[in-house]
Structure 1
Amino acid sequence: MDEAQLRRELREAALAHRPDHARILARVERGLAAPAPARRRTRLARPWTGLRRRALAPAPVAGRRWGVVLAVTAAVAGVVGIGGLAVTTREDRPAGPAATLPAPGPTARAAGTLDPGSNRWWAQSDLALTTQSPVAGLTVELRIARTPGVVSTGHWRTRPAEDFTVTVTEEARDLVYRWTLKPGRTVPPGPHTFAAQYNHAEGVRDASADTYRILLTGPDGGRTTLRGGFGPGGN
């Protein structure tokens, strides 16, 4: 049998072979479970000097033929082993929800001032609010520090009274005026004023601790918060 025929028959045998996957996996598992063999000491090879020249002579034809057989057999075994043991794992995960940025709140500005009609016994704090777009939700909170003699005498706003719920609360440190827009009502773009009125001890009252906070909500749910004060001094 010549070398070409031998290669052809080995290749046909390899292609016709159907590996037993279960048996191969079992052998691999047994091999992994077995204890590792003790390391053997390796003897150093003798130097080439002095070796007989016949040791370097080419191997006979029969030896080359068996080398071809072993090489082809090893290649076939490698193909079978890879085909029988290769496993591809794919994990499909559902895509997460896309990040949604919050809607921008209404554009607005505000300023707190002491009304020029205030006097030595009574004062009015004015909160001027200007909105640039329609507002679907609005809460205006005005805090007057409870300096000596501070007592509420009233309040008002330029928007319709029926659009708001109004409360005046006496807290430990502040007299709190709060206007809350009723559900279903809106505030159009434009200037709006909210005022708190109160008595105080005779003389010049320090308004530096008075503050305001405004929460505006747009039709799309975006929110804007404004904060500020009324500055030092006042009558």
Structure 2
Amino acid sequence: MDELKRQLREAAGAHHPDRARIHARVERGMAATRATRGGARHRPSARTSSAARPSWARVAGATAAVAAVLAAGGHTAATVLGSDRPDRSVTAQPAAPLRADGTVDPHSNRFWAQSNLTLTAPRPLTTLTVDLRVAQTGGVASTGHWRTLPADDFTVSVREDEAGALHYTWTLKPGRTAPAGRHVFAGQYNHAEGARAADRDRYTVTATDSGGERTSLRGDFAR
């Protein structure tokens, strides 16, 4: 027991436990316990002194000594012997980016059309400007516009540029916030009779989210 106590004191004072030494001590402690238990299987003769008889106190002491060695080395049984538990650590995923998608509304016809810009915001937006440009393909004239966000939160303008293209522009008012989610901005217009090509239509989006990240997006309505 003196030798075991000396080993325990050495393990407790070590700043950087040696796992190989700890394994060896555990094995020695377990071997001592098995040897003690093995002696208990034989009935002692009448001449055997009481001091030589196996003692459950000694078995318990050896078990406690093994636990103390593990504790002094900063290891649990699972650490020493290995563990089958999977690593449950979770890696933080980056926030999804702001996305925009331009489409010509399927209810458009041979005389009239609607261009839809769908904006998907993973975070609230503190600034937002959406410009929807409809190229002049003959007879293009505005008939209206709408958006799914509150009208009072935006200023809206409709104008023609030097090429005759229509621009629908929505600007979020200072101090207002567009919530995270899916939002639609639509421009409506007449056009010359027939199927209208939208390959020259464009959109531009500039926004700042609640985390201060600024994003600029450009795209078209060609399908």
Fold equivalence (TM over 0.5): yes
**What is the aligned partner in structure 2 of residue 212 from structure 1?**
203
State the distance in 2 between where 1:192 and 1:217 align.
15
Map 1:1-235 onto structure 2 (within 5 A): 107-173=97-163, 174-232=165-223
State the distance in 2 between where 1:110 and 1:209 align.
17
Q: Secondary structure at the match of 1:136?
A: strand
For the aligned residue pairs, the C-alpha RMSD in angstroms reads 1.7
State the distance in 1 between where 2:113 and 2:182 align.
22
Partners of 2:103 and 2:117 within 8 A in 1: yes
TM-score, length of structure 2 as denominator length: 0.56
Q: State percent identity of aligned pairs.
A: 59
State the distance in 1 between where 2:220 and 2:141 align.
19
State the distance in 1 between where 2:206 and 2:189 align.
24
TM-fit CA distance, 1:107: 2.6
Corresponding letter in the other structure for 2:158: V
**What is the aligned partner in structure 1 of residue 90 from structure 2?**
none
Partners of 1:168 and 1:175 within 8 A in 2: yes
Partners of 1:105 and 1:218 within 8 A in 2: no
Q: Structure 1 residues 155, 134: closer, same or farther in 2, change over 3 A?
A: same
- The count of corresponding residues between Structure 1 and Structure 2 is 129
Question: What 5-or-longer segments of structure 1 have no aligned partner?
Answer: 1-103
State the distance in 1 between where 2:218 and 2:212 align.
20
Corresponding letter in the other structure for 1:154: G
Partners of 2:95 and 2:122 within 8 A in 1: no
Q: Secondary structure at the match of 2:188?
A: strand
State the distance in 1 between where 2:95 and 2:166 align.
28
Question: What 5-or-longer segments of structure 2 have no aligned partner?
Answer: 1-93
Q: Secondary structure at the match of 2:200?
A: coil
Partners of 2:139 and 2:190 within 8 A in 1: yes
TM-fit CA distance, 1:226: 1.1
State the distance in 2 between where 1:181 and 1:155 align.
16
Partners of 1:105 and 1:216 within 8 A in 2: no
TM-fit CA distance, 1:147: 1.0
State the distance in 1 between where 2:183 and 2:158 align.
20
Q: Deviations over 1:39-59 (max 9, x none)?
A: xxxxxxxxxxxxxxxxxxxxx
Q: Secondary structure at the match of 1:205?
A: coil
